[in-house]
């Protein structure tokens, strides 16, 4: 089965989820970035038609609406925002659907072909890359590396990565026929022109082959194979972005993630903002606060890493602290996010840490130690105070 043929007929539930995430993130992200007084360029690298045949908005129209809000609102002093949409097959539909939206430009052809035009965007700009392909075959890692290393004012990446699809394609190319059965009811792309070399380029290494060999020998489960693969791939992402998080989107009926959303940024603030927004979006879905989200609530699981791998967040907090050396609160948060993804957000970690402080298990030191009024600071605002933690 090729996942792509009927993609735009009707928005699938797992697409709804992804769109909810980008929708939730864009508003605070745009507000924060435009505050830098530099231009923001959003590049939707695999844009699609713009909207689905059932009229639901796809990523291009979601992005275009956000730009429209900025351009029409008095609340934004900096209006230097635009979006570039790249689409290979449905360019005409995309252009038609984007008609009338200002600041939106579409490019016909492949992402790979247009990489040069993206890298020519002024370095003075903030760049947000949205990467939402059908499968994995166009995700040559060196393209993302080149863009990340071009030193734009800031760069962020949100990528839909079909890790299971990658492993399925890898098994096919390595001729592990018996493994293919395990992927039977999954959407994936088939491409006879694909090669092991191309898979190495996508994964930025050949480590995936050893993982599949272990799986083929019966040494590990498919669940573990996916986990190991993502661990290695995440290391590659961490080489080009200072901070990253990946969010497994899993159906209740399946143990393996349908896809993973990978987010990379060079700024801690970007990471914190993403985690908070994603966490909020998911909790809204779980609380079933919006009627329209009911279906998602019934079908998908909150991407709770604590459930996936039996982690212990309280032990991790305490183990990250040492008696001799202090750790910055925000650096501890980054460590926890790298492990727990969007399972928690800052306030929840903070409450646990405050609990430990009360029980005398750790010491908190703030710099400056006092508020402007001269009172000892109790603040957890790590933008205003340097907050250091150590074990007792
Ligand atoms: C999953 S869809 C994108 C959906 C879109 N994000 C949305 O929310 O509506 C992937 C799109 O990428 C296009 N495409 C496939 N290969 C491409 C490539 N190499 N470069 C650019 N676009 C490509 C496909 O035609 C398809 O429209």
Which residue's CA lies nearest to atom 18 of ligand 1? 110
Residue 134 has pLDDT above 60, yes or no: yes
Which residue's CA lies nearest to atom 27 of ligand 1? 48
CB-ligand 1 contact for 264 (6 Å cutoff): no
Quick one: pLDDT at residue 1? Answer: 37
Mean per-residue pLDDT, 360-386: 93
CA separation for the pair 294, 290 (Å, rounded)? 7
Domain boundaries, given as residue ranges, for the chain: 13-304, 306-391
Residue 64 has pLDDT above 70, yes or no: yes
Quick one: pLDDT at residue 184? Answer: 62
Q: For ligand 1, what atom is nearest to the CA of residue 8?
A: 9
Give 11's pLDDT tier (boundaries 50, 70, 90): confident
Which residue's CA lies nearest to atom 20 of ligand 1? 110
Quick one: pLDDT at residue 106? Answer: 97
Instruction: Identify whether the C-beta of residue 56 lies closer than 8 Å to the C-beta of residue 11.
Output: yes
CB-ligand 1 contact for 187 (6 Å cutoff): no
Specify the 3-state DSSP secondary structure of 107: strand
Show the beta-strand stretches assigned E in 308-357.
327-328
Instruction: Identify whether the C-beta of residue 104 lies closer than 8 Å to the C-beta of residue 87.
Output: no
Give 185's pLDDT tier (boundaries 50, 70, 90): low
φ and ψ at 342, to 5 degrees? Answer: -100, 15
Residue 241 burial class via C-beta count within 10 angstroms: exposed 0-12, middle 13-18, buried 19 and up: buried
| DSSP β-ladder status, 243-251 and 154-161 | unpaired
CA separation for the pair 91, 368 (Å, rounded)? 55
CA separation for the pair 135, 222 (Å, rounded)? 19
* pLDDT tens track for 24-49: 899 999 999 999 999 999 999 999 99
- Model confidence, pTM: 0.92
CB-ligand 1 contact for 194 (6 Å cutoff): no
Instruction: Identify whether the C-beta of residue 341 lies closer than 8 Å to the C-beta of residue 230.
Output: no
Residue 223 has pLDDT above 60, yes or no: yes
Q: For ligand 1, what atom is nearest to the CA of residue 89?
A: 25
CB-ligand 1 contact for 162 (6 Å cutoff): no
For domain 13-304, give the CATH number: 3.40.50
CB-ligand 1 contact for 88 (6 Å cutoff): yes
The alpha carbon of 320 and the centre of ligand 1 are apart by a number of angstroms equal to 41
CB-ligand 1 contact for 233 (6 Å cutoff): no
Mutate to test the pocket of ligand 1, among 54, 84, 87 (most ligand atoms within 8 A of CB): 87
CB-ligand 1 contact for 3 (6 Å cutoff): no
Cα angle, residue 167 at apex, residues 217 and 130 outer, rounded to 5°:
160
Which residue's CA lies nearest to atom 7 of ligand 1? 58
Return the closest-CA partner of residue 275 out of 75, 198, 267: 267
Which residue's CA lies nearest to atom 3 of ligand 1? 48
CB-ligand 1 contact for 346 (6 Å cutoff): no
**155 DSSP β-pair partners:** 127
The alpha carbon of 114 and the centre of ligand 1 are apart by a number of angstroms equal to 14
Mutate to test the pocket of ligand 1, among 134, 140, 187 (most ligand atoms within 8 A of CB): 134
Quick one: pLDDT at residue 217? Answer: 95
Tokens of 280: 């909020």
The alpha carbon of 181 and the centre of ligand 1 are apart by a number of angstroms equal to 27
The alpha carbon of 111 and the centre of ligand 1 are apart by a number of angstroms equal to 9
């Amino acid at each position: 089965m090729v996942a792509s043929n009927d993609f735009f007929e009707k928005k699938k539930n797992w697409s709804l989820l992804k769109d909810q995430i980008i929708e939730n993130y864009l508003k605070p992200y745009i507000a924060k970035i435009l505050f830098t007084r530099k231009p923001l360029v959003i590049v939707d690298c695999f844009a699609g038609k713009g909207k689905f045949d059932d009229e639901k908005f796809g990523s291009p129209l979601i992005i275009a609406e956000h730009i429209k809000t900025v351009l029409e609102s008095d609340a934004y002093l900096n209006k230097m925002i635009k979006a570039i949409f790249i689409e290979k097959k449905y360019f005409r539909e995309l252009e038609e659907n984007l008609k009338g939206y200002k600041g939106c430009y579409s490019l016909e052809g492949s992402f790979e072909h247009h990489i040069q035009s993206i890298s020519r965007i002024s370095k003075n700009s903030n760049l947000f890359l949205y990467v939402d392909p059908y499968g994995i075959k166009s995700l040559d890692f060196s393209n993302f590396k080149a863009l990340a290393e071009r030193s734009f004012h800031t760069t962020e990446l949100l990528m839909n990565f079909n890790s299971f699809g990658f492993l399925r394609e890898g098994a096919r190319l390595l001729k592990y026929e018996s493994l293919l059965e395990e992927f039977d009811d999954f959407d994936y792309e088939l491409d006879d022109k694909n090669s092991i070399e191309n898979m190495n380029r996508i994964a930025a290494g050949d480590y995936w082959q050893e993982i599949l060999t272990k799986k083929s020998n019966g040494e590990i489960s498919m669940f573990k194979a996916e986990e190991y693969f993502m661990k290695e791939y995440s290391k590659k992402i961490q080489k080009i972005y200072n901070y990253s998080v990946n969010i497994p989107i899993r159906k209740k009926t399946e143990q393996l993630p349908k896809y993973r959303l990978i987010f990379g940024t060079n700024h801690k603030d970007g990471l914190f903002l993403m985690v908070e927004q994603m966490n909020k979006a998911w909790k809204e879905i779980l609380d079933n606060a919006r009627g329209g989200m009911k279906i998602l609530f019934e079908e998908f699981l909150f991407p709770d890493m604590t459930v996936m791998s039996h982690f212990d967040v309280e032990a991790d907090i305490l183990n990250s602290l040492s008696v001799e050396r202090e750790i910055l609160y925000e650096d501890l948060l980054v460590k926890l996010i790298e492990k727990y993804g969007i399972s928690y957000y800052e306030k929840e970690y903070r409450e646990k840490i405050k609990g430990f402080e009360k029980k005398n298990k750790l010491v908190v030191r703030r710099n400056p130690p006092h508020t402007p009024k001269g009172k000892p600071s109790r603040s957890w605002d790590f933008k205003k105070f340097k907050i250091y933690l150590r074990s007792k």
